[in-house]
Structure 1
Amino acid sequence: MCATFAYAQKSSETILEPTQDSIKKRAFIKHLGNGYLPTKYFNFDLRYLIKYNQYEAVRTGLGGVTNQNFSEKYRITGYGVYGFRDHTFKYSIGGGFRLAEKTNTWVNLSYTDDLRETGSTKFLTDGRFFQFFEPRLLNIDLFHKLITKSINLEHQLNPKLFTEAEFAVSNINPTYNYGYVLDNTIVNSFHISTAKLSLQWNPFSKFEVSENTLKQTKKGYPQFTLQYTKSFKDVFKSDFNFSKLDFRTVYKIGSEDHGLSEITLVSGITNGNTPLTHLYHAYPNNINKSTIMQRFSVAGLNSFETMYFNEFFSDKFTTVQFKHYLKPFNISEHYKPQIVLITRYALGDIKQPELHQNVTFGSLKKGYTESGFELNKLLFGFGLSFTYRYGAYHLPEFSNNIALKFTFNVTL
């Protein structure tokens, strides 16, 4: 009996140890895929290690968030980075506490002193989106400095509907020569106090509760995101009174292994006195250089590759992007290049461009179109992208309508 028991125990250990190691390995890889390097009490955030843009050049630092081993009810977040061209240190510090476990309700506070791309819009409910390489960031040159104090509330109404609300007070100072005509006075830096409400609805996704944590087991489509922003004049010395409504939907059908079609629609509209910092730029990704090879860079995931940076700004816009992933070429088990067919369309307008001083930009009211293809995963995750600009905004010089770039795709 003893010998049998000892053998069973040894056999159990032999079987369980690799299983436990495998589980730990999968969890570690998942953390890396989400952009974290986990330690016992603190997960380092890989987004802040190193980046590059036209204003800061190399930007490097450290950041992270405490994990459940530290506390299941409280968390501390923060980062610190340094730009080698502007010789400036940027940072953010914050924390949160959980109000209700069942609805995953958290209250978060933060203080941030950093840069933000002018004309960009971020949805509060966007989960953590991590890329080893952020293509558009390399070429961005239009940033504004901001110091923001915010309080945020996260709440899961049900597994398929997640909400966030935020109140923030920001001091904004463009890094470029810019002025906005406000009440017959040109303002070059300003204060903005905003309230935001964001909803993320994934009606066709599937979820399950595991270890008291709600986990998504299947991504279903379409998915919908809606966000309303209101700026209040004279609240905490705010200079502007405007509102914004932003919407996004993503629909996918098929699979990348057998052919996948993806449609992304993004739309936004502002009302009231809105500075350039809070308008829309339609996500351009083309450098203002004269030749195709001088413009050779990295293609983004959802950006307009032939649209030049700072070429267009809008107070209302809509973009539609269609991608079709053809079945990968099955050359070998580990070498499977893939062709992606792409078409993008943008439509927008702006009411009073003359209010924006010392900047020149165009309107998208005629409709902007580009099409092309990507040949991905040719070597070590790298590929090539070719895009052509045509239609109402076709440029007289033929070569200026062409964008030739490389792509980078790595999946953990």
Structure 2
Amino acid sequence: MYKSERVPTDKKRLFFGLLCLCSMLLASVTGLAQETIVKGKITDASSGDPIPFVNVIYPGTTIGTTTDFDGNYTIRTSTPGDTLVASYIGYKPRKKAVGKGGTQIVNFQLGEDATQLQEIVINAGENPAYAILRNVMRNKSRNDKRRLTAYEYDTYTKVEIDVDNITDKFRERKIIKKITQVLDSVERMAGEDGKPILPLFISESVSKFYYRDNPQLRYENILKSKINGVGVDDGTLVTQLIGSSFQEYNFYQNWLNIVTKEFVSPIAEGWRLYYEYDLTDSVYIGDDYCYRLDFSPRSPQDLAFTGTIWITKEGYALKQIDVTVNKQANLNFVEKIKIQQELEPTAEGAWLPVKNRVLIDIGELTNTSAGMLAKFYTSNKNIVVNKPHEPAFYQHPIVMAEDARLHEDEESWDTLRHEPLSESEKNVYKMIDTLQNIPIVKTYIDLVKIFVNGYFDAGKVYIGPYIGFVAVNNIEGLRLQAGFKTSMDFSNKWVLRGQLGYGFRDERFKYAGSVQYIASRERWTTVSFRMRSDIGRVGVDDETLADNYIFLAAQRWGNYRRGYYFDEARFNFQRELFRGFTQRFAVKRLTFRPEFNFGYTQPEDVAGDTLSSFETSELVIESRFARDEMFIQDDNDRISLGALKWPIITLRYTRGFKGVMNSDFDYTKWRLSIFKRIKFGPLGVAYLNTTGEYTTGAAPYPLLTPHLGNQSPFYTIITYNLMDYGEFVSDRYASLQYQHHFEGFLFNRIPLMRKLKWRLVGSANVIYGGMSETNKKLIPQETSETPKYLPVRTFDRNKPYVELGYGIENIFRFVRVDFVHRLSYLDKTVNPNVRKFGVFVSFQFAL
């Protein structure tokens, strides 16, 4: 009986246990079946770029997430709503309907919010953001990558340039009508809510980047490069410009150089002077708990940012940053600059950027033109720190592997890229191929190349330069000239150049021909020989002014007050001995035949006979040191991008040998020049050029230093603008030429002027100089029996020549007006035409 009663009870318990277990399993399976997974990508409707750090949430709940650096998001929930909202500062929020259950793709394209940020109101007590920022300052030296002795990483760079803001008026232009079909396909490519863009250029590169401190050196080895662009044939020059070296921004610096302008960092030492801050959130980003701080500039016209930074609670390091420069800033042509960056800590504690995205939006120049978008993306992996190489390893800042431009197939590039291309980026390659095959586009490309390069590309030969094709002056009358130079297709070792001109008044041919041999590109080494027969102006040294080709071309025009014919032969050898240090050796032979009233006496000529022409033979030895100057190679030319931090120092020794190849004079010159770009933070930027020269021996004044005057109405930074041509000559002097660009420092703070975006500029030109008695005696004294020579004036030993100027630049974005005062040598009995004050105009293209 006992057993018969217990068996049913056990069966019941077993039955109920199984029933409960099945119910739980069923509930679990039902819960899994009801989970909703929503994935997607959020992009900018104007540029098509992904937007990181966007909040994506079911409204009225706490269910949501934030997009990663590439704009992707994923939300998993078992209690979904029927709507998702994407929102981020600077953009209009966007809602989209979503379903429940399963996996679905929901993409957003956000349009910019044109409304301005409201003022941040801080109640009684300290702004809580300030305590965080003070901790950022205390930990700056620990977190800044500049504390590392060295670092290196693999980097992938992607650059895209597009035409945007395509208006109806722009579509009506002749060339655009020819590519309407392409535009229509581009519009579809832009997405359901995106604006149409016309791609012009896309590139990808993979390189290895190295940096070391003490001395500060950097080296980028570009391993692979893929370029497709309208009008880009070879791509060698472009490849050097698209590497990560030009996409590096360190916000731990107080000032960042962007598009040649200095912007103040939101975590600069003087942060409270430039920005307003608001602590808006605390959130986990990966494993790091971060404070979110929103900020905006105190003055919208300043070169400062609006945006958001995420600061880690542990160590107060910069984890993420998203900043924008809007069109209210004192910039020309730039509608917007946007920089987004994600950083990770290294084994030594300092943080390095692992992903960067930069967007520069160039506005329309006219109502019938379109704008431009330039987009840059870099990704860094395999970071190694504090393992510096020997300084010789960093000999060249940028080196391109010989096979870098060899076209790899798509499968190979899929393994090289850090992230795959998006569908729109794949379409960009196709669109550019289509554009390049349209005949009218090819024609416009050729015209633009001639305008930019100054030469017409005829394959193995460049025809030009066009800027010197025609000129009119008082000696030659109408002058016509043609020329050429060979390209790399002709030879990557030999460069031939030639010019032939003819003056219709003097009925003379002028010519120039040269041959150059490039012995080494590794340590730039060249050997050249040149012969010329032409006219020149006393005081215009084409060797010193070689980089200012526009000024030299302009000297062909107008009145040659001290013009002369010359024949010249020159041999030149130069070599970069080590990074930044170049040695040059030259031999020159020159004949001088004046076309103005000029005379000189020989030093030993007791009778004092006056001569007018002469011959000279010179040896030139020059040393040039520019510690951090960057160069790129364009075809067979080497182009300097300037020095980053250190001055450029040049020491030149010149020796004239009497009796060598009929040379008439024996003299020695020493010249030292120093050029430096100086950053003054909120006070703008300055350019300082100082020169000193000392001459011994006897030589007529055209062989000394006739200081470069200016009698035109156009302001020139390399001249003394209130000095007449050839007014002063020295054989020993020290000079200073200083230009200070205050940017918007003053005018941005004047309410009625800030909208004009004018900028204050100041200048100073000073010379201490003189001439030895030996060389003064070579200048003939006028008598009733001698011709009236053009006057030659020298400086008093203790009296400097001084010009001070002030002006306004950026008038109508292109015009600069300078007001210059001459403060010395004002005696009208000596110079009846002396100018004490002058107003000069110039035209410049500056951001």
Structure-2 residue corresponding to 1:385: 818
Q: 1:355 aligns with which of 760, 764, 778?
A: 778
Q: Does residue 197 of the first structure (1) align with residue 630 of the second (2)? A: no
Supply the AA of the counterpart residue of 2:524.
N
Cα–Cα, structure 1 residues 29 and 348, in superposed 2: closer, same or farther, change >3 Å? farther
More strand as a share of residues: 1
Q: Does residue 15 of the first structure (1) align with residue 429 of the second (2)? A: yes
- Corresponding residue SS for 2:539: coil
* Paired residues of 2:468 and 2:553 also in contact (CA < 8 A): no
Structure-2 residue corresponding to 1:289: none
Supply the AA of the counterpart residue of 1:360.
P
Supply the AA of the counterpart residue of 2:568.
T
1:226-375 matches, cutoff 5 A = 226-254=651-679, 259-286=684-711, 297-328=713-744, 336-352=757-773, 353-357=776-780, 358-365=789-796, 366-375=799-808
Cα–Cα, structure 1 residues 37 and 253, in superposed 2: closer, same or farther, change >3 Å? farther
Percent identical: 20
* Paired residues of 1:321 and 1:344 also in contact (CA < 8 A): yes
Cα distance in structure 1, aligned partners of 2:546 and 2:834: 38
Q: Deviations over 1:212-256 (max 9, x none)?
A: 997656622411122111111111111111111222211112289
Q: 2:508 aligns with which of 85, 88, 97?
A: 88
Note the C-alpha offset of 1:108. Answer: 1.0
Supply the AA of the counterpart residue of 2:689.
T
Cα distance in structure 2, aligned partners of 1:377 and 1:144: 38
Note the C-alpha offset of 1:406. Answer: 1.4
Q: Could you say which structure has the larger radius of gyration?
A: 2
Supply the AA of the counterpart residue of 2:792.
F
Cα–Cα, structure 1 residues 218 and 250, in superposed 2: closer, same or farther, change >3 Å? closer
Cα distance in structure 1, aligned partners of 2:813 and 2:478: 24
* Paired residues of 2:488 and 2:636 also in contact (CA < 8 A): no
Note the C-alpha offset of 1:17. Answer: 6.1
Cα distance in structure 2, aligned partners of 1:204 and 1:348: 32
Q: 1:64 aligns with which of 458, 469, 484?
A: 484
Cα distance in structure 1, aligned partners of 2:473 and 2:809: 24
Cα–Cα, structure 1 residues 127 and 386, in superposed 2: closer, same or farther, change >3 Å? same
Cα distance in structure 1, aligned partners of 2:698 and 2:659: 14
* Paired residues of 1:225 and 1:248 also in contact (CA < 8 A): yes
* Paired residues of 2:707 and 2:726 also in contact (CA < 8 A): no
Note the C-alpha offset of 1:145. Answer: 1.3
Cα–Cα, structure 1 residues 257 and 297, in superposed 2: closer, same or farther, change >3 Å? farther
1:164-203 matches, cutoff 5 A = 164-182=584-602, 183-184=604-605, 185-203=609-627
Cα distance in structure 2, aligned partners of 1:156 and 1:27: 35
Once the two structures are overlaid, the 10-residue window that deviates more, 379-388 or 251-260, is: 251-260
Supply the AA of the counterpart residue of 1:325.
H
Once the two structures are overlaid, the 10-residue window that deviates more, 374-383 or 89-98, is: 374-383
Cα–Cα, structure 1 residues 411 and 141, in superposed 2: closer, same or farther, change >3 Å? farther
Structure-2 residue corresponding to 1:128: 547
- Corresponding residue SS for 1:145: strand
* Paired residues of 2:599 and 2:610 also in contact (CA < 8 A): yes
Note the C-alpha offset of 1:48. Answer: 1.7
* Paired residues of 1:374 and 1:407 also in contact (CA < 8 A): no
- Corresponding residue SS for 2:777: helix
Cα–Cα, structure 1 residues 275 and 31, in superposed 2: closer, same or farther, change >3 Å? farther
Note the C-alpha offset of 1:266. Answer: 1.9
Structure-2 residue corresponding to 1:401: 836
Cα distance in structure 2, aligned partners of 1:79 and 1:209: 24
Cα distance in structure 2, aligned partners of 1:20 and 1:349: 66
* Paired residues of 2:470 and 2:480 also in contact (CA < 8 A): yes
More helix as a share of residues: 2
1:201-212 matches, cutoff 5 A = 201-206=625-630
- Corresponding residue SS for 1:355: coil
* Residue segments in structure 2 that go unaligned for 5+ positions in a row: 1-410, 412-421, 437-441, 781-788
Cα distance in structure 1, aligned partners of 2:682 and 2:473: 34
Cα–Cα, structure 1 residues 252 and 394, in superposed 2: closer, same or farther, change >3 Å? farther
Once the two structures are overlaid, the 10-residue window that deviates more, 400-409 or 388-397, is: 388-397
Once the two structures are overlaid, the 10-residue window that deviates more, 357-366 or 228-237, is: 357-366
Cα distance in structure 1, aligned partners of 2:827 and 2:432: 59
Structure-1 residue corresponding to 2:269: none
Cα–Cα, structure 1 residues 245 and 393, in superposed 2: closer, same or farther, change >3 Å? farther
* Paired residues of 1:116 and 1:143 also in contact (CA < 8 A): yes
Once the two structures are overlaid, the 10-residue window that deviates more, 235-244 or 136-145, is: 136-145
Note the C-alpha offset of 1:38. Answer: 4.1
- Calculate the aligned-residue CA RMSD, in Å: 4.0
Supply the AA of the counterpart residue of 2:578.
N
For normalisation by structure 2, the TM-score amounts to 0.42
Cα–Cα, structure 1 residues 369 and 356, in superposed 2: closer, same or farther, change >3 Å? same
Once the two structures are overlaid, the 10-residue window that deviates more, 77-86 or 63-72, is: 77-86
* Paired residues of 1:191 and 1:237 also in contact (CA < 8 A): yes
Bigger RCO (CA 8 Å, 6+ sep): 1
Once the two structures are overlaid, the 10-residue window that deviates more, 350-359 or 10-19, is: 10-19
Structure-1 residue corresponding to 2:528: 108
Cα distance in structure 1, aligned partners of 2:651 and 2:445: 33
1:29-40 matches, cutoff 5 A = 35-40=454-459
* Paired residues of 1:256 and 1:325 also in contact (CA < 8 A): no
Cα–Cα, structure 1 residues 359 and 208, in superposed 2: closer, same or farther, change >3 Å? closer
Supply the AA of the counterpart residue of 1:90.
K
Cα–Cα, structure 1 residues 18 and 135, in superposed 2: closer, same or farther, change >3 Å? same
Supply the AA of the counterpart residue of 1:339.
L
Supply the AA of the counterpart residue of 2:839.
L
* Paired residues of 2:573 and 2:584 also in contact (CA < 8 A): yes
Cα distance in structure 1, aligned partners of 2:674 and 2:525: 25
Cα distance in structure 2, aligned partners of 1:203 and 1:30: 33
Note the C-alpha offset of 1:16. Answer: 6.5
- Corresponding residue SS for 2:723: strand
Note the C-alpha offset of 1:143. Answer: 2.1
Structure-1 residue corresponding to 2:148: none
* Residue segments in structure 1 that go unaligned for 5+ positions in a row: 287-295
